[in-house]
């Protein structure tokens, strides 16, 4: 490993570090409230927020690790890590641990590893490696080659079934493709083919996924079944009004009307307790957070570093957009968590490690010139 040049420590993006700490702190605070439920003799708490704090400590360890080495070495690790990820995903159907009715985790004894989260890092690395070669917009052959690399892990993840993580992998890769650019003779036919072919995906969905889409189109069709999540979520956010009901005072969440309040629907707890003003504050934090990652992609001094930061940007952008959209009822429920706000060990470690990668690119932007 290349010795650390002390001068690069002077160029740490402290704004990104501060925003990450602030978002993680808001997430733990919100999980403290989401972990509680009212009893006659007071408030009872599940240990979700404590575990999230421990995952955060592991994640910050990952962040520091990803900051220390020269990120250009990751080019040589992209293919081996991609193959290891495929192996882990193939192990899930055989050795996977069932949690909440889904087989998505590998039990490592001290930690339940979710290989689909590791896949997001490996797709980022191999996508950045492939797309940073050359500068011309992609033709048909190059586009199919890049998308084929992502389809294999995405397909294995969707078969678990985990539609949300599978979509995250494809959207991350799709974002990198757009960052590189597509030839106009490829882009125009795609604008016609995608809307035509997209409805065919209906025939490959599980029954519960079809119910989620139908519920998105008409939430009132099954208010006590498939539509229950989204209806309770909208009631919780709406009841927060302008200023919210106050910390630990959300009735929908504390009285257990709101399901999955510590995972995918954690933002509904925040909206109920902190209202429209609190949600705008949180959204502003996310916008500033994304802007700092965008600046890193823009200012990176080599194409590989620029694509790495751009991939992290798209990874967080799509997760934030889709989670908030589905909680508000503007998108179908696909099981994508909100970064730093939703509970999840693997996701927290991966999210913070990806920020360490962006900081790595940012720190070294003065060390060498663009390749």
Separation CA 302–CA 132 (nearest Å): 9
Please indicate, yes or no, if residue 8 is contained in any of the structural domains: no
pLDDT at 264 (0 to 100)? 87
168 lies in the same domain as 219: no
Please indicate, yes or no, if residue 1 is contained in any of the structural domains: no
Last residue of a domain, one of 158, 178, 204: 204
Please indicate, yes or no, if residue 3 is contained in any of the structural domains: no
81 lies in the same domain as 105: yes
Please indicate, yes or no, if residue 196 is contained in any of the structural domains: yes
Q: What is the pLDDT along the chain (371 residues), one digit of tens a residue?
A: 555 566 677 788 999 999 999 999 999 999 988 887 655 556 566 678 888 999 999 999 999 999 988 899 999 999 999 999 999 999 998 888 887 677 888 887 777 788 888 898 999 999 999 999 988 999 999 999 998 999 999 999 988 888 888 888 999 999 999 999 999 999 889 888 888 888 888 887 777 778 778 877 777 777 777 788 888 888 989 998 999 999 988 888 777 788 878 888 999 999 999 999 999 999 999 999 999 999 999 999 899 999 999 999 999 999 999 999 989 888 888 888 999 999 988 889 999 999 999 999 998 877 655 44
Distances (CA, A) of 10 to 5, 216, 360: 10, 49, 12
Other Cβ atoms closer than 10 A to 13: 21
316 lies in the same domain as 246: yes
**Exposed/middle/buried for residue 177 (C-beta within 10 Å: 0-12, 13-18, 19+):** buried
213 lies in the same domain as 189: no
Please indicate, yes or no, if residue 5 is contained in any of the structural domains: no
162 lies in the same domain as 231: no
250 lies in the same domain as 166: no
Separation CA 97–CA 244 (nearest Å): 39
Q: Which two tokens stand for residue 59?
A: 């994640």
Q: What is the DSSP string of 300-341?
A: -SSHHHHHHHHHHHHHHHHHHHHHHHHHTTSS-----PPTTT
59 lies in the same domain as 100: no
193 lies in the same domain as 227: no
278 lies in the same domain as 191: no
Please indicate, yes or no, if residue 7 is contained in any of the structural domains: no
Please indicate, yes or no, if residue 59 is contained in any of the structural domains: yes
pLDDT at 201 (0 to 100)? 81
275 lies in the same domain as 233: yes
Beta strands in the chain (DSSP E): 36-39, 42-45, 97-99, 102-107, 112-113
Please indicate, yes or no, if residue 310 is contained in any of the structural domains: yes
Domain that holds residue 241: 21-37+49-68+208-370
Domain count, the chain: 2
239 lies in the same domain as 339: yes
Last residue of a domain, one of 179, 204, 229: 204
198 lies in the same domain as 86: yes
pLDDT at 371 (0 to 100)? 46
Last residue of a domain, one of 175, 204, 233: 204
């Amino acid at each position: 490993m290349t010795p650390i040049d002390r001068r690069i420590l002077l160029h740490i993006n402290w704004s990104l570090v501060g925003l990450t700490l602030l978002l993680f702190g808001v997430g733990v605070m919100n999980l403290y409230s989401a972990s509680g439920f009212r009893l006659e003799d007071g408030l009872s708490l599940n240990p979700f927020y404590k575990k999230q704090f421990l995952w955060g400590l592991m994640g910050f360890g990952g962040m520091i690790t990803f900051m220390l080495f020269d990120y250009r070495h990751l080019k040589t690790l992209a293919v081996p890590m991609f193959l290891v990820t495929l192996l882990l995903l193939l192990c899930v159907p055989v050795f996977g641990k069932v949690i909440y009715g889904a087989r998505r985790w590998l039990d490592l004894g001290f930690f339940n590893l979710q290989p689909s989260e590791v896949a997001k890092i490996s797709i980022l690395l191999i996508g950045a490696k492939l797309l940073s070669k050359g500068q011309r917009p992609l033709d048909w052959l190059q586009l199919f080659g890049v998308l084929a690399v992502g389809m294999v892990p995405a397909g294995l993840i969707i078969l678990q079934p985990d539609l949300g993580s599978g979509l995250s992998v494809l959207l991350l890769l799709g974002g990198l493709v757009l960052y590189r650019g597509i030839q106009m003779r490829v882009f125009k036919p795609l604008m016609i083919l995608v809307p035509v072919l997209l409805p065919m995906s209906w025939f490959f969905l599980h029954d519960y996924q079809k119910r989620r889409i139908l519920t998105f189109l008409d939430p009132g069709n099954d208010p006590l079944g498939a539509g229950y999540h989204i209806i309770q979520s909208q009631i919780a956010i709406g009841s927060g009004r302008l200023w919210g009901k106050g910390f630990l005072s959300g009735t929908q969440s504390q009285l257990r009307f709101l399901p999955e309040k510590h995972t995918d629907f954690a933002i509904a707890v925040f909206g109920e307790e902190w209202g429209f003003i609190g949600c705008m504050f949180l959204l502003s934090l996310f916008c500033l957070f994304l802007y700092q990652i965008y600046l890193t992609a823009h200012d990176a001094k080599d194409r590989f570093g620029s694509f790495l930061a751009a991939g992290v940007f798209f990874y967080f952008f799509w997760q934030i957009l889709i989670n908030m959209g589905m909680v508000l009822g503007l998108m179908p429920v696909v099981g994508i968590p909100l970064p730093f706000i939703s509970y999840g060990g693997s996701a927290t470690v991966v999210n913070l490690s990806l920020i360490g990668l962006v900081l790595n690119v940012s720190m070294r932007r003065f060390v060498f010139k663009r390749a």
